[in-house]
Amino acid sequence: MNTNNNLYTIVYATIMVVVVAVILAFASSLLKERQQRNVEIERKEMILRSVQLGADQAARAKDKDSYIEAEYAKYIKDSSINEQGKDLTLYICTIENGERFYIIPLKGVGLWGPVWGYISLKGDFNTVYGATFDHKSETPGLGAEITTPAFYDQFENKKIFDNSGNYVSVLVVKGGADASNPHEVDAISGGTITSKAVEEMLFKNIKEYTTFFAAKLKEAEERAAEAALQMQQSDSTAVTPTLQVNIQ
Amino acid sequence: MYKKIFIEPLFKNNPVSVLVLGICSALAVTVKLEPALVMALSVTIVMGFSNAIISSLRNTIPNRIRIIVQLVVVAMLVILVDQVLKAFAYEVSKQLSVFVGLIITNCIIMGRIEAFALANKPLPSLIDGIANGLGYGIILVAVAFFRELFGSGSLMGYQLIPASWYLKNGGFYENNGLFILPPMALILVGVFIWVQRSIQKELIEK
């Protein structure tokens, strides 16, 4: 057979492309569900990690997927707030003793691709409780180190507002941050652009929530003042007012 | 004969250290040992199957679109490997990220298809593909071994150098940052080629 014939070449190419397309489409539809589940589990795992949950090694080793699902269902509630015409996602974590943490999703641009993460704030909307980061394609060993505990553990107990209430976020500082400074963490050596990307991501993403936080704090203050006033009036000393912030 | 096809690419005719093919990915995925192992395995699978498929089609492929046919077959296999990794080894697939896709451009694969599969029967082609993948894998793992050990003080993610040795904890040791950067992979590959040439004198050009 003459395989250099024009018609033969065209027919050959057409059949080949169709066959390959069918194989790939079939594989994709077969594996899609599992892949999406992996992505979903990873997202939940990151949210849990940002509030320092989901780290039970024994349970993880046994059946990681259902463990993460169960922990997520137990502690985390998705909620959405509307701020200046923009829908913002906020995850609320309630732990056993009733304390609440507010988890903000972060999205940013790294050196080679997107970076993202979650940061959780305590009930004062100021102190960081935990943070976690991930990336699509930062340099392994350099920028990719943002996913390690050595980096994200630094964020605990940092503050996003300064003493006079101005928004400063948390800065990622090159050349050694002062551990006692509440607004600074160490950057990654060799990963300056990724570190700066994390800093910018934190600043931009948290900023969108600041007016919401301010409103919530004011609301809580008013409620506390009201409670204090009521207490004075009724002259009761047995009940102490608790600062409670509720978001629905 | 099959034995010779299998043994030769492992050392005597190694695709990386003798033919100097596939260097690009050897630089990129060898910072840590685990991605290097998965990369080596993925390349071996893709190369074995692509060699076998092209070899069984070799008498029907129109000569003028030969390279395109080869690329389509390789690309299909690479996408399949990528999808399977995403479904069953999600953590590793994230580490390899773009490099799995770049297997398509790995010169060893196209090189073996052109040099071997087009002229041989499917079974020897399959063996040749797997052997070359393993030959590539040996170099990859060796480079990654040294880079992870000296660059991060660990192997397969397990910390081998005790934390108390490090300068920051009052010790005397510091990881060598150069090992993490791509140039070190090139230097290591150069050292391997040197070692091989001092063993195999016939490789030395006059």
The residue of chain A nearest to residue B94, with distances taken between CA atoms, is A136
Tokens standing for residue A42: 């990873």
Buried residues in B14-42 as b, exposed as e (16+ CB within 10 A): bbbbbbebbbebbbbbbbbbbbbbbbbbb
Nearest to B103 by CA among B133, B141, B123, B144: B133
Tokens representing residue A174 in the block: 């090159």
Here the tokens at position A216 are 């919530």
Please give chain B's pLDDT, 206 residues, in tens. Answer: 788 888 888 888 888 888 888 887 777 788 888 888 888 988 999 999 999 999 999 999 998 899 999 999 999 999 999 899 888 888 778 777 667 877 887 888 888 999 999 999 999 999 999 999 999 999 999 999 999 998 888 888 778 888 788 877 777 888 887 888 888 889 999 999 899 888 888 877 77
Question: How confident is residue A243, by pLDDT bands cut at 50, 70 and 90?
Answer: low
* Contact of B140 with B30, CB cutoff 8 Å: yes
CB nearest B87 (choices: A4, A34, A142): A34
Residues of chain A positioned with their CB less than 8 A from the CB of B153: none
Q: pTM value?
A: 0.74
The nearest alpha carbon in chain B to A145 belongs to B152
Q: Which residue of B has its CA nearest to A147?
A: B95
Instruction: Tell me how many domains chain B contains.
Output: 1
Report the distance separating Cα A160 and Cα A143, nearest Å: 23
* Strand, helix or coil for residue A15: helix
A24–B79: do the CB atoms touch at under 8 Å?
A: yes
Residues of A in Cβ contact (< 8 Å) with B83: 27-28, 31, 35
Expressed as residue numbers, the domain containing B72 is 2-203
Answer yes or no: are the C-beta atoms of B125 and B163 closer than 8 Å: no
In the numeric block, the tokens 């707030």 are attached to: A81
CA distances from B125 to B39, B115, B128, B137 (A): 21, 10, 5, 18
Instruction: Tell me: pLDDT of A220 over 80.
Output: yes
| Spatial contact of B8 and B131, defined as CB atoms under 8 Å apart | yes
Q: Is the pLDDT at A235 greater than 60, yes or no?
A: no
Instruction: State the greatest distance between any 2 C-alpha atoms of chain A, in Å, as a whole number.
Output: 105
Helix, strand, coil content of chain B in percent (nearest 5): 75, 5, 20
